[in-house]
Amino acid sequence: MQNGEVSFWWQARGLPPRRPPLPGSTDADVAIVGAGYTGLWTAYYLKRADPGLRVVVLEQHFAGYGASGRNGGWVTATLPGSRTRYARGPQGPAGVRELERQLRETVDEVARVSQAEGIDAGLVKGGTLSVATSAAQDARLRQRLEQERGWGDGPGIVRYLEKDELAARVQVTGAIGALYWPDCARVQPASLAAGLAAAVAGAGVSLYEDTPVRSISAGLARTDAGDVRAPFVLRCTEGFTADLPGQHRTLLPMNSSMIVTGPLSEAAWKAIGWDGCETLGDEAHAYIYAQRTADGRIALGGRGVPYRFGSGLDHDGAVADSTIAQLGRILRRMFPAATGAGLDHAWCGVLGVPRDWCATVTMDPRTGLGWAGGYSGHGVAAANLAGRTLADLVRGVDSPLTTLPWVGHRSPRWEPEPARWAGVRGLYALYRTADRVETAGRSGRTSLLARAGDVISGIPH
Ligand SMILES: Cc1cc2nc3c(=O)[nH]c(=O)nc-3n(C[C@H](O)[C@H](O)[C@H](O)COP(=O)(O)OP(=O)(O)OC[C@H]3O[C@@H](n4cnc5c(N)ncnc54)[C@H](O)[C@@H]3O)c2cc1C
């Protein structure tokens, strides 16, 4: 079994030939730091809107090296933040509804551009399932459905599936019921990143790889190879942001880990079903997420080691053996028919979490400094919407996107160490214990441990 090496997704399609690094100091109209989905989508829409713009993208490794080439491949319309917190903005609840509507449309926008640009990323819009495997999880699902209805989401946006309805789609051992949202697609994440990078480079964006940016200030991105001077400098570094000067407490690099099976036999797929390729998660506090891959495997992810002291990063995605074992146990429990396929690869990556778990898209017209991120694990579609929004903000266009409630949102800073480390580790220890308690008991009550964790962490529900 392979461990790390960035991700299975990259190994499966082959690592791309490196683009050259920045050859020396240069001027541009827009400098973008980071070639994940956020940076690439921003560059894409800027060039589409104004082909004459000189756009430079600076990437420390290669396009899609970060979360964008390692994620679970859920192109999800899930709000990357809290409705209640966003509703405190000037647009109130209507602004939140509009942001959610835009996110749902974004799933189709990603599909549209993939097709238009000839990006073969195995995209299938099969919706997403959140499956309950204990009475407490099921009670949470039903409560959540009520909340969704309270926010005006009808059955076309989310609905409850009884056990039999769920089983007709996919066989998950111990499942009691599920919520189903149709607005989600499955994708091969690295193929999407690679295709997007090719589209962006093809459109005339200067995409430099192996070019770490050492500092960002108004009008300037500084690298070892030289400076890029531009009236607009955009930070699109999500989980890596803490490494930049002055940004140590802006976004917490939360770790997420994944495993993938070998290809399942026809008999195993017959037993499991899953012909609709819905993305699938559970309703545990330390939740998992999974997809049926285009090449007939199951890829499943979860938290593993949630956070490394001092906002530390992984080494090219290498995962601890204990995490692989833990995810493997969950996989075999949920999908016993997949056991024979074994495990082919494990990897991990970091996603950016703001202190209030609410993503931001922002640009200061006085300094020309902008950034987007903090999607808290819901960034695949959100990065597209953020990229379109950043492009509008840079061009000074008033659009329906530039008034969405995440634009200009300010999150508090994270606590300094060791409080940050102790807090996040403690939180996930609480969640895991709460999950064990809920699974062992038959009560439909959410464990008090988890409730305490939610209050301390501020995780939105
Ligand atoms: C394991 C895992 C599973 C996930 N699953 C899902 C999912 O299924 N659905 C979903 O919606 N979201 C998911 N996410 C989150 C989602 O992948 C991210 O939110 C999204 O990819 C963020 O894109 P980005 O471009 O902002 O950041 P990234 O993709 O992390 O890109 C940032 C880029 O910036 C570069 N960079 C950083 N610092 C510098 C610097 N100083 N100089 C130059 N370059 C720099 C990095 O090398 C990187 O390429 C997951 C994340 C992980 C880690």
**What is the three-class DSSP state of 362?**
strand
Q: Is residue 252 within 8 Å of residue 311, measured between CB atoms?
A: yes
Please tell me if the CB atom of residue 122 comes closer than 6 angstroms to any atom of ligand 1.
Answer: no
Measured in angstroms, how far is the CA atom of residue 242 from the centroid of ligand 1?
A: 13
Amino acid at 275: D
Radius of gyration of the chain (CA): 21
Phi, psi for 198 (deg, rounded to 5)? -65, -40
* CB atoms inside a 10 Å sphere around CB 262: 16
Measured in angstroms, how far is the CA atom of residue 105 from the centroid of ligand 1?
A: 21
Q: Is residue 119 within 8 Å of residue 160, measured between CB atoms?
A: no
Out of 71, 207, 314, mutate this one to test ligand 1's pocket (max ligand atoms within 8 Å of CB): namely: 71
Out of 351, 375, 390, mutate this one to test ligand 1's pocket (max ligand atoms within 8 Å of CB): namely: 351
For the full predicted model, state whether its pTM sits above 0.85.
yes
Compute CA 14 distance to the chain's CA centroid, rounded to the nearest angstrom: 22
Q: Is residue 440 within 8 Å of residue 65, measured between CB atoms?
A: no
The residues of the chain scoring below 50 in pLDDT are none
How do 55-58 and 30-33 pair as beta strands? parallel
Measured in angstroms, how far is the CA atom of residue 66 from the centroid of ligand 1?
A: 5
The pLDDT assigned to 340 comes to 96
Measured in angstroms, how far is the CA atom of residue 368 from the centroid of ligand 1?
A: 23
Alpha helices in 91-233 (DSSP H): 92-116, 135-150, 163-169, 189-202
Please tell me if the CB atom of residue 130 comes closer than 6 angstroms to any atom of ligand 1.
Answer: no
Question: Is the torsion defined by CA of 405, 408, 410, 416 positive or negative?
Answer: positive
Amino acid at 98: E
Task: Give the nearest ligand 1 atom to 258 CA.
Answer: 1
Using CA positions, which residue lies closest to atom 18 of ligand 1?
Answer: 379
448, containing H or E segment: helix 448-457
Rounded distance, CA 406 to CA 427, Å? 26
Measured in angstroms, how far is the CA atom of residue 221 from the centroid of ligand 1?
A: 20
Using CA positions, which residue lies closest to atom 4 of ligand 1?
Answer: 71
Please tell me if the CB atom of residue 347 comes closer than 6 angstroms to any atom of ligand 1.
Answer: no
Using CA positions, which residue lies closest to atom 32 of ligand 1?
Answer: 237
Q: Is residue 70 within 8 Å of residue 317, measured between CB atoms?
A: yes
Alpha helices in 219-310 (DSSP H): 266-272
The pLDDT assigned to 85 comes to 96
Instruction: Indicate left, alpha or beta for 244 from its phi (over 0: left) and psi (-120 to 50: alpha).
Output: beta
Rounded distance, CA 158 to CA 15, Å? 38
Rounded distance, CA 247 to CA 95, Å? 28
The pLDDT assigned to 457 comes to 79
Amino acid at 458: G
Using CA positions, which residue lies closest to atom 2 of ligand 1?
Answer: 71
**What is the three-class DSSP state of 64?**
coil
Measured in angstroms, how far is the CA atom of residue 238 from the centroid of ligand 1?
A: 6
For residue 131, what are its two tokens?
């499956």
Measured in angstroms, how far is the CA atom of residue 61 from the centroid of ligand 1?
A: 13
Strand partners, 232: 30
Task: Give the nearest ligand 1 atom to 78 CA.
Answer: 11
Residue in this structure with the two tokens 């979860």, named with its chain if needed: 302
Using CA positions, which residue lies closest to atom 21 of ligand 1?
Answer: 68
Please tell me if the CB atom of residue 237 comes closer than 6 angstroms to any atom of ligand 1.
Answer: yes
Instruction: Indicate left, alpha or beta for 106 from its phi (over 0: left) and psi (-120 to 50: alpha).
Output: alpha
Measured in angstroms, how far is the CA atom of residue 68 from the centroid of ligand 1?
A: 4
For residue 123, what are its two tokens?
């995209």
Rounded distance, CA 238 to CA 224, Å? 21
**What is the three-class DSSP state of 400?**
coil
The pLDDT assigned to 152 comes to 96
Distances (CA, A) of 168 to 139, 177, 355: 22, 12, 40
Furthest CA-CA distance within the chain? 64
Strand partners, 345: 2, 260
Task: Give the nearest ligand 1 atom to 347 CA.
Answer: 1
Rounded distance, CA 249 to CA 414, Å? 5
Alpha helices in 255-404 (DSSP H): 266-272, 321-334, 380-395
Q: Is residue 341 within 8 Å of residue 269, measured between CB atoms?
A: no
Q: Which residues of 307-333 are buried (b: 16+ CB within 10 A; e: fewer)?
A: bbeebebbeebebeeebbebbbebbee
Phi, psi for 70 (deg, rounded to 5)? -130, -5
Measured in angstroms, how far is the CA atom of residue 71 from the centroid of ligand 1?
A: 8
Using CA positions, which residue lies closest to atom 11 of ligand 1?
Answer: 378
Please tell me if the CB atom of residue 68 comes closer than 6 angstroms to any atom of ligand 1.
Answer: yes
